[in-house]
């Protein structure tokens, strides 16, 4: 699934993370040599996993967050969100090397 998502996006790498049992992750990569869980900053993982309170102005528990990072000296933008209603957490990596 991660490979199919990445091939339909312009130069994105995709990472999908779920659990088969508590503490036993299942990870899908579009390219294991390009983008792994270790490339996602811990602060972004924490923000993506945090449930937001539901209010009259916020109808959804999870939102899309992004963070600029550097991998081997190359700048990247990493975005992540949880699938509302269940499913994996998804992250996308986009090189900002053209900057």
- Name the percent of the chain lying above pLDDT 90: 64
pLDDT score for 31: 86
Any long-range contacts for 40-47 (C-beta under 8 Å, 24+ apart)? 40/15, 40/78, 40/80, 40/91, 41/67, 41/69, 41/78, 43/67, 44/78, 44/80, 44/91, 45/80
Kindly indicate the confidence band of residue 25, based on its pLDDT and cuts at 50, 70 and 90. confident
pLDDT score for 8: 58
How many Cα atoms sit within 13 Å of 8 on the Cβ side? 5
> Which has more pLDDT, 12 or 2?
12
Kindly indicate the confidence band of residue 91, based on its pLDDT and cuts at 50, 70 and 90. very high
Domains of the chain plus CATH, in order, are 2-95 (3.30.450)
Convert the pLDDT of each residue in 36-70 to its tens digit: 999 999 999 999 999 999 999 999 999 999 999 99
Residue whose structure tokens are 């992250």: 91
């Amino acid at each position: 699934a991660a490979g199919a998502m990445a091939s339909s996006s312009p130069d994105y790498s995709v990472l999908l993370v779920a659990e088969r049992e508590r503490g036993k992750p299942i990870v899908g990569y579009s390219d294991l040599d390009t983008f792994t869980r270790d490339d996602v900053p811990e602060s972004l993982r924490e923000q993506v996993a945090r449930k937001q309170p539901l209010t009259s102005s916020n109808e959804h528990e999870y939102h899309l967050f992004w963070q600029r990072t550097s991998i081997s000296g190359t700048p990247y933008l990493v975005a992540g969100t949880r699938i509302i209603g269940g499913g994996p957490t998804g992250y996308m990596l986009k090189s900002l090397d053209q900057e």
